[in-house]
Structure formats: C-alpha cells, structure tokens
Amino acid sequence: MNNLTMEEIVNYAKQYGFIFQGSEIYGGLANSWDYGPLGTLLKENIRNAWKQKFVQENKYNYGLDAAIIMNPKVWVASGHVASFADPLIDCKKCKARHRADKLIEDFTKGEVTADGWSNEEIENYISKNNIVCPVCGKLDYTPIRKFNLLFETSIGVTDDTKNTVYLRGETAQGIFTNFKNVERSMRAKVPFGIAQTGKAFRNEITPGNFIFRTREFEQMELEFFCKPGTDLEWFGYWKNYCMDFLRTLGLDSEKLRMRDHSKEELAFYSKATTDIEYLFPMGWGELWGIADRTDYDLGVHQEASSQDLRYLDPETNEKYLPYVIEPSVGLDRLLLAILSNSYTLEEVGENDTRVVLKINPALAPVKVTILPLIKKVHGEKATEIYSELCRKFSASYDEAGSIGKRYRRADAVGTPLCVTVDDNTINNGTVTIRNRDTMEQETIKIEELEDYIVKITTL
Ligand code: GAP
C-alpha cells in the first residue's frame, strides 16, 4: 500500500493530463478543477461502469436525464430552500471561516460526526473539547449561523426576485418529480428504480481536498421505489450492491468500510443511513451515502404539487406512496478514490522505479497503445493497425523515444496493453503485446488483437 499524499495525486493528475486547476491562466478559481484529456476519458468510463451496473445490468432500474434548472417550487417542497444549510462559524481572532461540524469531524479524525446535531450541541462540543481554530489556534468563535448551500440564479431578462431559480443541489429531485412519468411510460411495477448522473451545485463553505469537496460536482444517484415494509430488506440489498461494485472497480477492501449513522445523526425523515467510506490520502471520508428515505420525498411533492403520486398496486388494488432507498455517490469523489487507489510507484530492478496506474483495465482512459519499433521501418504498418483499433477502443499511437520510455509513459497513465509492431509484424503478421502489470510479453496474430483487448478490458 502506498502512503500517498494528496499533493502527489494533485501533481500526478496535472502532469499526465487528468485534472487541471480551473481558470489557471487567470490565477485559478479556488476549488474549481477542469478535467483534461485523460481525466475526461476516465470520468466517462466510471460513469459508464455505473450505468452498466445500475441500469443496464439491473432488471429493476431505468435511466433519466432531468434538467439542472427546475421550477423553484421543487426546492421549496423538498426542504432545500428552508434548511439545506451548513453550520457556519467564524474565528473572531483571525476571521477564518469554518464549517462547525467539520471542525468536530477533523478534531476526532472522523470518529464523531455532528450530522443532525443542533447548533447548541455543536457549540457545546467545540468548547468542551477545546477545539481551537485550525488557522490561528485560538478558541474564540462567533455563534453558529446557518448558511444555505443552494446557488441562486435568475431566469429571463429582468433581475426580479420572482425569477429566482436554483442550480440543483442534488440530482435526486429530478427523479422524484418524474416518478409518475417513468412509472406510466415504462409501465413500471414497484419495486423499481430511476437512476441518473449529472452535475450538482452547492455553495460549500469549506470546499477542499482537491476534487473531494467542490462547489460543482457530478452525482450518480439511484432512487429505488419499494413497498413500505420491504424497505429495510432493499436497503441491505443496495448497500451490498454498491460495495460489490466498488470492489469490482478494483478499490482495495481494506480501504473501504461501512459506517451506519447513529439515531442522533439520522435526518428526521430517514429510517436508516449507511455511508461507504474510503481511506483517501487525507484520511477516511464519505464516498457513497445509502439512505432509507421512507416516503418523505414523494410525500412532500405530492402535497406541494397537489398531484396524486401514489402507486396503485395492480395485484392488491392498494394505493400507497412507495418508500425510497437512495444510493448516492459523487463521481468526482469516486474518481479520486480510484486514482489514489491505483497510483503506484513500483521498484523494477536495481535503482529503477516506474510510475504505474494499476487501474481496472475497463476504466483505463486508453486501452491500448501502438508502438512501431522503428518509426521509419514499422510506422506505416503500425498506423494501419492503430487506425483499425481506434474505431473500437480508446487507443493511442506513440513513436517518440526508446521503446522502454514509451512503455513507461503508457504505464504511468494506466494503459493496460502495449502493442509493438516490428519486422515480425511485416513478415509474419504477428505483434508483441505487453501487459502493464506483469510487464510480460506475448506474441499474437494481428487478427487476434481485437478479441484479446476485449477480454482484458471488459468489466
Ligand atoms: N441526494 C442525496 C445527496 O445528495 P449527499 O450525501 O449530500 O446526499 C451524495 O451527497 C454524495 O455526493 C456524497 O456521498 C459524495 O460522494 C457526493 N458529494 C456531496 N457533496 C459533494 C461535494 N461538495 N463535492 C463533491 N462530491 C460531493
């Protein structure tokens, strides 16, 4: 296991074209990040893996892509306008601004979480435990104020409060508001789920830790509708399903753990919540939240919209509001977990090391790279092979530098297979294929290449 620092990951991500600082040529914008060519591919592969597992391979679920800007009544009904807020505290001495619950979480190294605590409880805990300002070391805070996380913008040409809308704070609400549409159009029978991926926006007080907590991020959420009474069984089903998925993606089991929310921590509408946490370079942090949200969401939307959102059970003729199990994961956070889990500095021989991204081949940004042994002699044949393969796979072509250096470049970005084109390719129609992890080489026929790559890179 590498003892990787966040700084190493940030540098690596920048150097190899995964993630750059946002607006960098203007000095950046705090905590905004841009995905580079390889980061874009990696993100897409993770998103597709999630869609494959949660929609394509799961007989219960359907996909959706709802609008980011919704009728503001949605956010009033959901409770976000009134209470989607973090407890904000200022240090009177140095004026540093903190999220009060985060102070406790950091102080106890994640052992105590203040989710669901009242302001008074948080303030008492901070003063009793002498949790000083991490910037100046003083214990002199303002009282806690609630800070709403929704980003506001306006629609239309006039700057009128009537036109205020919100950038969605979670993708989930677009699912709840489409529950009936999906049920009717797909003739869906409860239990069924609706899954979507997309951007969410939160005016976080303390973003940070690279892409772990940002103001603009992507979520992958499933809202699974089930009959009340069966909810806890489904809650268990989805917890295991998510954990299996993370292991399939290649995250180390010893860096994953489940943490059940205590009664005090639970949101008032939630019957049970479990976080899957990952051991990030800065410590354990929430990766995936899985919650039994009861019939709260459909209930509030039913009431506010005056639409009947109940489900009519065709077998029993019973009408009820389904309960919802919600597994919700941040795509950027998952990408950070995958990058940190895969980045390896490996000794190869005496006084020699290589950077290798030991990522699940199905997620690798580039699946195969084509290398002519000698550019002038083998370039044409290599280009021909590359042109065929890039129609099916994300492939690259590299003819610069020694073959050893080219292998290293491919290893560093996690390319699982290198195909070397040499005299044998021209004379016998064979290529040498090298495996990123074992560094072993095999000779295969050109016609076998496609199947070989599919076999190695399928999830
Ligand atoms: N619909 C439920 C919901 O949004 P959440 O726990 O607030 O629940 C779900 O968010 C997941 O979204 C988190 O587990 C995390 O992976 C990701 N997430 C939340 N806030 C984030 C932020 N500011 N930056 C990056 N990812 C975030």
Domains of the chain: 6-69+169-339 (3.30.930.10), 366-457 (3.40.50.800)
In ligand 1, the atom with minimum distance to the C-alpha of 171 is: 1
Is residue 1 very low, low, confident or very high in pLDDT (cuts 50, 70, 90)? very low
CA separation for the pair 43, 337 (Å, rounded) = 12
Which of 79-88, 153-162, 218-227 shows the lowest per-residue confidence on average (mean pLDDT)? 153-162
pLDDT of 2 higher than 60: no
Instruction: Assess whether pLDDT exceeds 70 at residue 158.
Output: no
pLDDT of residue 414: 98
Mean pLDDT of the chain: 96
Residue nearest to atom 14 of ligand 1 (CA): 288
Q: Report d(CA 85, CA 145) in Å as an integer.
A: 9
State whether the beta carbon of 43 lies less than 6 angstroms from ligand 1: no
What would the pLDDT profile of 286-303 be if each residue is shown by its tens digit? 999 999 999 999 999 999
C-alpha to C-alpha distance for 372 and 403, rounded to whole angstroms: 9
- Report the share of the chain in percent with pLDDT over 90: 92
For residue 225, the SS3 value is: strand
User: What atom in ligand 1 is closest to the CA of residue 328?
Assistant: 9
Question: Could you give phi then psi for residue 126, rounded to 5 degrees?
Answer: -65, -45
Q: Is any atom of ligand 1 closer than 6 Å to the C-beta of 217?
A: yes
Structure tokens at 415: 């390319």
pLDDT score recorded for residue 160? 59
Would you tell me the crossing angle of helices 449-457 and 375-389 to the nearest 10 degrees?
A: 60
Whether the per-residue pLDDT at 429 is higher than 50: the answer is yes
pLDDT band at 162 (very low <50, low <70, confident <90, very high): low
Q: Are the C-beta atoms of 191 and 224 separated by less than 8 Å?
A: yes
More confident residue, 406 or 3: 406
Mean pLDDT of 321-342: 98
Give yes or no for residue 407 having a pLDDT over 70.
yes
Q: What is the CA radius of gyration of the chain?
A: 25
- Could you tell me the pLDDT band of residue 116, with boundaries at 50, 70 and 90? confident
Mean pLDDT across the stretch 2-10? Answer: 90
What's the Cα-to-Cα distance from 6 to each of 85, 217, 281, 336, 428, rounded to whole Å? 28, 19, 5, 10, 48
Neighbours of 459 (CB within 10 A): 15
Distance 296 CA to ligand 1 centre (A): 19
Ligand 1 pocket check for 333: Cβ under 6 Å: yes
The 10 Å Cβ neighbour count of residue 196 is 22
* pLDDT per position as a tens digit, 306-329: 999 999 999 999 999 999 999 999
99 in ligand 1 pocket by Cβ < 6 Å? no
CA 330 to ligand 1 center in whole angstroms? 5
Average pLDDT over residues 218-244: 98
User: Is the sign of the CA dihedral 87, 91, 95, 96 positive or negative?
Assistant: negative
CA distances from 80 to 77, 84, 146, 160, 170 (A): 8, 4, 12, 21, 10
* The pair of three-digit structure tokens given for residue 245, joined into one six-digit string: 């998925």
